Homo-oligomer: A and B are copies of this chain.
Amino acid sequence: MRARNLAVVLATIHRSGPHTRAELAERTGLTKTTVSSLVADLIEAGAVSESGAVQKGERGRPGMAVSLSGHRVAALGLEINIDYLAACVVDLTRTVRLRRTRPADNRNSDPAAILEGLRVLAKEITAEAEAAGLRVIGAALAVPGTVEGGMLRSAPHLGWRDVRVDGLVELPVTIDNEANLAALGELWFGSRESDFLYVSGEIGIGAGLVVDGAVFRGTFGLAGELGHVVVVPDGPACRCGGRGCLEVYAGQDTLLGELGSVGELVTRLESGDPGAARTCERAGHALGVALTSAVHLLDPGRIVLGGIYAPLYRWLEGPVSDGLGARLAQMRGTPPALVVSRTGPDAAVLGAAGSVIQSVIADPAQLLGL
């Protein structure tokens, strides 16, 4: 009961901003005595702090407003991607405090070696956060593959299968697919819209559907594998074992070809290189086909292009929009809006840290138990 009331009070402060204890009592239906005691616990845990006296046109002496504190509780976001490792620390107000990215070549790699590298990165950034007075209370890890039962089940580009990440850091760690976490990153750190399909263009292509502020996960947590939606049924073989998947036409490897980075591709596109333009056009056309199928099945509020599609948005927008318009207009009137991600390449690692913050706000009693 106390745990539930702590959550109610913290959620009220989180949703509607600083409140006096009297206002919190009014909004939650709890007694002032109970609210005062709960607020004392939340202050002790570092979740909230008194942010100054307020007088809102009422008589009597002013109350002290209590607001979410960014000074103490923090979460660690971690990401293993195919060509980098990343970590970040986010505080309870979802302000990004620290972020680090380490380029790496993780293709067909040894999980133990990569996890050791991530452990070092996590340890460094956690120490830095603690030196700044933060208390890192949990971690979440984004991986470019499917996750079931707290385990990385299959990450074909890493060449990993059935990998556990227990003991990565001395903290509770959850693990989730990078596209799901990137979608949450977009929700909390980007556009803050509550309904969209986030498309994560990376070496693999994933998607995270957010409906009414929550990720849709399907039955086994495997939903959103946009990269393997069939674009051409007898197209080239895909490494998933299928043929003509979206990834074959619009994955990072196809887009870059011999180029070393997305930056190089952008430079070529800006200089009017016809080969680069053709590659982007073809990828955009395939994306339009796969997203048509996705809109029919998932019914997203809008479509957000993220990952490497963000810097390529200028060149992708036309062919993708044309494809969606031609195929969807008659059944749907206006197709869902197509927009570019506001979060940048660290959407997934931010979403990971944000998901830990979300769990703290949903159950602040875990702060007191620690």
Residue ranges of A at the interface with B (Cβ–Cβ < 8 Å): 146, 154, 156, 195, 207, 211-212, 216-226, 228-233, 240-243, 285, 289-290, 292-294, 296-301, 326-332
Contact = CB atoms under 8 A, between A and B. Distances in A.
Nearest to A233: B289
Given A154-B331, A331-B240, A297 B301 contact: no
A280 to B, nearest CB: 17
A224 B298 CA distance: 7
B230 A297 contact: no
A292 B225 contact: no
Given A225-B296, A299-B219, A331 B230 contact: no
Contacts of A293: 229-230, 290, 293, 297
Given A222-B299, A223-B297, A301-B219, A230 B292 contact: yes
19 contacts: A156-B330, A216-B216, A217-B299, A218-B298, A218-B299, A219-B299, A221-B299, A223-B297, A223-B299, A225-B297, A230-B231, A230-B327, A231-B233, A232-B232, A233-B285, A240-B330, A241-B326, A241-B329, A243-B327
Contacts of A231: 230, 233
A73 to B, nearest CB: 32
Contacts of A330: 156, 240-242
Given A220-B301, A230-B327, 18 more contacts: A154-B331, A195-B219, A217-B299, A219-B299, A221-B299, A223-B299, A224-B299, A225-B297, A225-B331, A229-B293, A229-B296, A230-B289, A230-B292, A232-B233, A240-B327, A290-B293, A293-B293, A297-B298
Nearest to A223: B299
Contacts of A228: 292, 296, 327, 331
Contacts of A154: 331
Nearest to A336: B219
A299 B177 CA distance: 14
Contact of A332 (B222, B296, B326): B222
Contacts of A223: 297-299
A146 B331 contact: yes
A216 B207 CA distance: 17
A211 B222 contact: no
Nearest to A218: B299
